[in-house]
Structure 1
Amino acid sequence: MQNPASLSGKVIIVTGAAQGIGKALSDHALAMGASIAAVDLMADTLKQSFADAPSDRVRTFAGDVTDDDFVAHVVEQTDRELGGLHGLLNNAGIVRAAMITDMTSAQWQSVIDVNLTGAFKCLQAVGRHLVQKAKAGDTNPGSIVNVSSDAGRRGTFGQINYGAAKAGVLGLTMSAAREWGRFNINVNSVCYGLVETAMTETIRQEKFRGRYLESIPLNRFSTPEDVAPATCFLLSDAASYITGQHLAIDGGFHITA
């Protein structure tokens, strides 16, 4: 019996793929049999991260997820060069921390642009492609997973821009799931807690570490490798009847008061 969580034969776009969570998602998808289009703004890091990846199953695209032309190019070239397109791991994101009273318009807008508008543009472009597949007769056109955060469900401290953007991603997920359900396109989100990446380095310092760990029932921060398997599962055929959901992969952080 084939592993129902296999991604064999699927072609997946992964945004923010050069490092951290995006790299772990890419590595796991590859291990589960997928081919991937790895997207990131950091061209040199992207190239280095995938230097040893199988050339027949990986393409890299350096560019900005807020650029409509770039995103459309990624979708078109992925389909052409990898022989199809079946899914999206909508992961690209940035942080620009500041307290509410000190946050500048530039800090606010940059995070909204990448984490929410960029997520929408990627969802829209991949969704258009999957809808076309469905209208052409494909009964299993593909799936989309948007990376949100517990910050979008519980609020956050010193990152109101990030919390607002990630709350918006939950809305993107539910709306797209409703619109595209009739095409058998699954759209879900994942909500991470505190993952050990460069983006969370400040709040994992000794000054804050104990307070945050007390809020996590599993009493540890997660690694990118912790969150990748469950995230990729939502792209597999084993998740074919799951849509419009927000899966918390956070060690229980969302259930604590």
Structure 2
Amino acid sequence: MIPDALSTALRKARHLVVFTGAGVSAESGIPTFRDALSGLWERFDPAELATPSAFRRDPALVWGWYEWRRMKVLQAQPNPAHRAIAALAERVEKLTLITQNVDDLHERAGSRDVIHLHGSLHAPRCFACGRPHAISEVPEEPAEGRCLEPPRCQRCNGKVRPGVVWFGEALPEAALRAAFKAAGECDVLLSIGTSGVVQPAASIPQLALQSGATVAHINPQPSGQGGAREFSLAGAAGVVLPELLGQLDAR
């Protein structure tokens, strides 16, 4: 059940911010970092592969794992939550979409100008000089989970790394600045499928609240509700968001 106060705030909103996390992609079958790995990768800890030191130590292993992840993303399809978010952009004056996810499911659902706080699997760059590198649309599947050497940079011959933010690395400054600006200016913020504990991204909903916006948290499990302008909607994003969209269309 969508609270009337939230529906009213959405109908009146001139700037809506949607902030998504791993829970949205998980509904398309994409494993999260909390999920145990399977198949060729079951003996590895994702957190130990997602660091600059891991890439220096064994670039073929890390590149192979991220190409496996990219393959899983390309095999997945946008779910009703992704499509509802794209549809919301047609019903409000302005929508800013901020995501912690490194896939392209929002874009494939029709969203534009997505702010990727944690980078993208589809935008690798040189580990040495940072130059963007174009890769094949179809990933090469690594044999035995490790034998897949990364390509070389065309400018400096350095090894190409996945275009994601690893543990110990700062978030992209321009993306974070744009996200904070949008959160501070919006009327309504929907925080969807994110644990709300990973900083600095976790401060985005709080920044919106402090600036006077209405904030709704959408997760399978209910989260804390801090006041009259903060709501917790328990349920799958692919169920709650189409319901919210339908309520807007009905009035």
Q: TM-score range by the shorter chain?
A: under 0.3
**Structure of higher CA gyration radius:** 2
Q: Output the TM-score relative to the length of structure 2.
A: 0.28
Q: Output the TM-score relative to the length of structure 1.
A: 0.27
- RCO greater where, 1 or 2, for CA within 8 Å and sep 6 or more? 2
